[in-house]
Amino acid sequence: MNTQEIMNILWLIFEIIGTVAFAISGALLAVEKENDIFGVLFLGVTTAVGGGIMRDILTGELPPKAFQDPVYVLIAAVTSLIVFFLMYFTKGNIRKKLAMADAVINVFDAVGLGVFTIFGMNAAAELGHGENLFLRLFVGMITGVGGGIIRDILVREIPSVLCKRIYAVASLIGGLIYYLLVKLGMNAGVANFIGAASIFIIRMLASKFRWDLPKVDLDK
Amino acid sequence: MNTQEIMNILWLIFEIIGTVAFAISGALLAVEKENDIFGVLFLGVTTAVGGGIMRDILTGELPPKAFQDPVYVLIAAVTSLIVFFLMYFTKGNIRKKLAMADAVINVFDAVGLGVFTIFGMNAAAELGHGENLFLRLFVGMITGVGGGIIRDILVREIPSVLCKRIYAVASLIGGLIYYLLVKLGMNAGVANFIGAASIFIIRMLASKFRWDLPKVDLDK
Amino acid sequence: MNTQEIMNILWLIFEIIGTVAFAISGALLAVEKENDIFGVLFLGVTTAVGGGIMRDILTGELPPKAFQDPVYVLIAAVTSLIVFFLMYFTKGNIRKKLAMADAVINVFDAVGLGVFTIFGMNAAAELGHGENLFLRLFVGMITGVGGGIIRDILVREIPSVLCKRIYAVASLIGGLIYYLLVKLGMNAGVANFIGAASIFIIRMLASKFRWDLPKVDLDK
């Protein structure tokens, strides 16, 4: 295999990891909210493919890719069912385990955010909007955060994009880095990884060091 | 009239029943949530045509049929106003009456779920996706459950698709039955009814016998 | 400058006022809900351009105008940041100031409702739906109220369209007035203003005199 082929396979693996990560985050949230097995499946799949569906609606690529090609829905469905049965057959305190899982999810979720942002930007470019940085950053961001927004609205949580540290901002900064690297002549495959990785790293640093953006103190 | 004409008329009647049923469910929920007459109208219409609008967005058939042809919005609007004025001029305890209405609504809602699922599947087929079972099942399901999701989000309830017994699952199973019957050579008109009826029956049985899907007990 | 040019400039000013007004309403709500600076920015921009994005999705004009041309997002972003920093550097009781701001917002919001409704109706006409009054009224209404619906769902408030006095109704009545004036031969530019102004005036009168639509009293 040459470098290009290896990178294509790596990228596919990352896409699957992103899908799995988002499905896990949706499925676990559904378990927390005491939904039944179908609710867990529905929320897991919706979280995993929701961002891509929003991207396809906004770019007019309809029906959405997720509806045309079952593979990502299948991956998300299997993931969600595994999450459900793991929790179902687990002995002992589930609430404690869900709290522990949160830290793991946070890492996977950041992978998904990174991978899907870059995917969204590339999808916009393939539709002839390669030169419109503004549009590509927004389509990328929506692809990255859209599934989580739908997930949180469905279970009546405040969307993490509004309250999680440096979430959409990480998507925009990494998207900009990716755009500039390609502009500067970097191989697109390598730039894909660096863009997604920079989003992942910014999110992880923000979580680790509890970076907070400024806030208005209502009771000052 | 020949059989085909009778079936076309029956099907139209079912479509109207589905629209009316969904409008009633939205209008009653708005009354329960103490919205004014316009809120009742808005929620009734949105519930009745929301699933079809989501279907048209996802299949790229824009503007949505509900915007182009006023008849279904009109039916839903008149239904919602009748619900409002019935409640407005009713004497005695409204809360009690709303609770009694729930059982009736549940039946009508199941009719709507059945009819709209099959409509959605047929709409997808007419757009050239006849062979893509996966896409048709999803488009059908969204057509069936979409209006209820929008309704529940607007009044900040957890969407019934996440918590009602065998709801989206009934749509998927009935959709699959319909698909197989047509594949096996059954007349499409007859298959329409059997598909919608099987969704209705599964929902009613699940309600009646309180079928529960498995759930993770957080406090085991 | 001739009359037409003056009116074009006035209309552009109104469009900017509408964008600014909606951005302020979203940004202030985000401050109230104790979001950080990015949450304020996100909600301000979403409120300002959300109605237009819903209009473009429903009419199939994709990618949405807001994604293709950064100017309205920029105006909304700058507005939201100004709101944030004004609140951030303000001394004294913020809660009191937010309450006072509500009255001012209500006025600006009504300007936005008026301007965006007429914009939406015109956009539908430009796409060849000029004769379909029903479609144009609905597209106009969604353009006017859509951003507010998204804003309220994201922060888990009941959408103002369901609970604010004569909100969507004002959009529909003003839209009808506009349509009739153009039909009667009035200059479209003048009709634009009268349509938007009539929506604004209906909303202001409804607020001022606390016009209430009838409601079902659940405890009668």
- The pLDDT tens digits for A115-164 are 999 999 999 999 988 889 999 999 999 999 999 999 999 998 888 888 77
Query: Can you give the pLDDT at residue A95?
Result: 79
Residue predicted with more confidence, A212 or A58: A58
Mutation target among C35, C49, C67 for the A interface, most CBs of A within 10 A: C67
Where residue A176 falls (left for φ over 0; alpha for ψ -120 to 50; beta otherwise) is: alpha
Residue in B with minimal Cα distance to A63: B59
ipTM of the complex: 0.88
Q: Is A105's pLDDT higher than 90?
A: no
Interface residue ranges in chain C relative to chain B, Cβ cutoff 8 Å: 57-60, 124, 129, 132, 134-135, 138-139, 149, 153, 156, 158-159, 161-163, 166, 168-169, 212-220
Q: Is B44's pLDDT higher than 70?
A: yes
| pTM, rounded to two decimals | 0.91
Residue of A36, A73, A91 lying closest to B213 (CB–CB): A36
What's the whole-number mean pLDDT along residues B50-59?
95
Q: Is B172's pLDDT higher than 70?
A: yes
Query: Can you give the pLDDT at residue A82?
Result: 96
Query: Can you give the pLDDT at residue B215?
Result: 84
Query: Can you give the pLDDT at residue A220?
Result: 67
Mutation target among C38, C49, C54 for the A interface, most CBs of A within 10 A: C38
List Cβ neighbours of C46 (8 Å cut-off, separation of 6 or more). Answer: C26, C147, C150, C151, C154
Report the run of H or E that residue B30 belongs to, with start and end: helix B3-32
For helices C3-32 and C37-59, the axis angle rounded to 10 degrees is 130
Confidence category of residue A181, pLDDT binned at 50, 70, 90: very high
Q: Is B59's pLDDT higher than 80?
A: yes
What's the whole-number mean pLDDT along residues A90-119?
83
Confidence category of residue B220, pLDDT binned at 50, 70, 90: low
A68-93 tens-digit pLDDT: 888 999 999 999 999 999 989 887 77
Percent of chain A with pLDDT over 90: 56
Q: Which residues of chain C have pLDDT under 70?
A: 220
Confidence category of residue A211, pLDDT binned at 50, 70, 90: confident
Confidence category of residue A43, pLDDT binned at 50, 70, 90: very high
Q: Is A166's pLDDT higher than 90?
A: no
Q: Is B45's pLDDT higher than 90?
A: yes
Q: Which residues pair with B215 in a beta bridge?
A: A36
Confidence category of residue B95, pLDDT binned at 50, 70, 90: confident
What's the whole-number mean pLDDT along residues A169-195?
93
Residue predicted with more confidence, A90 or B76: B76
Residue predicted with more confidence, C15 or A197: A197
Residue of C53, C91, C155 lying closest to A158 (CB–CB): C155
Query: Can you give the pLDDT at residue B204?
Result: 93
Query: Which single residue is written with the structure tokens 């006017």?
Result: C144
Mutation target among A38, A61, A90 for the B interface, most CBs of B within 10 A: A38
In degrees and rounded to multiples of 5, residue B215 shows phi and psi of -140, 150
HEC assignment per residue over chain A? CCHHHHHHHHHHHHHHHHHHHHHHHHHHHHHHCCCEHHHHHHHHHHHHHHHHHHHHHHHCCCCCHHHHCCHHHHHHHHHHHHHHHHHHHCCCCHHHHHHHHHHHHHHHHHHHHHHHHHHHHHHHHHHHHCCCHHHHHHHHHHHHHHHHHHHHHHCCCCCHHHHCCCCHHHHHHHHHHHHHHHHCCCCHHHHHHHHHHHHHHHHHHHHHCCCCCCECCCCC
CB contact under 8 Å between B36 and C212, yes or no, is yes
